[in-house]
Structure 1
């Protein structure tokens, strides 16, 4: 039964190679438009970060929603002050992997089994953990999202 479904999915991918990437792009665009129209700084629009609410410490993602809102309004400076990791690392990585995936679909190449070399994945994990720890230390308060009280 699954082979028939797999065969049908393969035919659809061959006929319309950019259908899946277009769907992902549509969902991502709709999400950014929604966040751009609904200000995360206004009380009641979005819930508070659960980690911040329970511990009083910033998680690596604290300020990301506000940063995406700022980017939707073309305010790069504010976005950088809210979450440096999201703006300089996460969004460029997401764009890179999206375009790599869409390009492989367009060219009809099989998808890669590994996203990246394990050393890069470990380095990425260390970067996230280091950012998480550092942004909560007093000497690195510049990494904490401004305007969000712990």
Structure 2
């Protein structure tokens, strides 16, 4: 009887990290859903944009989160298309993390492989450059 109780406690304990991360993310999304980043002065400006007038790959992400929280997919895509494409990837990775934790299997850091990180950095860099060119203006927030 004690073995079953210990197993159940271990499973619940293993879910603390993924669900803790989800709770923090849910709190941030709730804050962004309530306090509109489209209104000037609610959040600080992007330092790169403030200093240079150039959009970084993350510019518009807060507004995209706000739009997604209000079920406005088109508005979110207009703010930061790269971010919108990354949301399903992050949800998939989180689901995999939670499922593997529940099953008691080790969570392998597949996302931290150097090839994936360099690829992500390259995509973000290209996105950041293209959105600041005349032919990439449709990517600017």
| Same fold? TM cut 0.5 | yes
* Residue aligning to 1:108: 104
* Residue aligning to 2:119: 123
Residue 67 (structure 2) pairs with residue 66 (structure 1): no
Contact 1:135/1:144 (<8 A) preserved: yes
- Between 1:112-121 and 1:130-139, the stretch displaced more is 112-121
Normalization by structure 1: what TM-score? 0.82
Q: Residues 35 and 14 from structure 1, CA distance in 2 versus in 1: closer, same or farther, beyond 3 angstroms?
A: same
1:1-150 to 2 correspondences below 5 Å: 14-16=10-12, 17-89=14-86, 91-115=87-111, 117-145=113-141
Structure-2 separation of matches of 1:75 and 1:21: 27
* Residue aligning to 1:5: none
Structure-2 separation of matches of 1:118 and 1:44: 38
Structure-2 separation of matches of 1:60 and 1:31: 20
Structure-2 separation of matches of 1:13 and 1:114: 27
Contact 1:13/1:19 (<8 A) preserved: no
Count of residues paired in the alignment: 134
Structure-2 separation of matches of 1:121 and 1:139: 27
Question: How far did residue 12 of structure 1 move?
Answer: 10
Normalization by structure 2: what TM-score? 0.87
* Residue aligning to 1:148: none
Higher helix proportion: 2
In structure 1, the gaps of 5 or more residues are 1-10, 146-150
Contact 1:51/1:58 (<8 A) preserved: yes
Structure-2 separation of matches of 1:75 and 1:128: 23
The RMSD of aligned alpha carbons is 1.9
Contact 1:38/1:45 (<8 A) preserved: yes
Structure-1 separation of matches of 2:45 and 2:60: 10
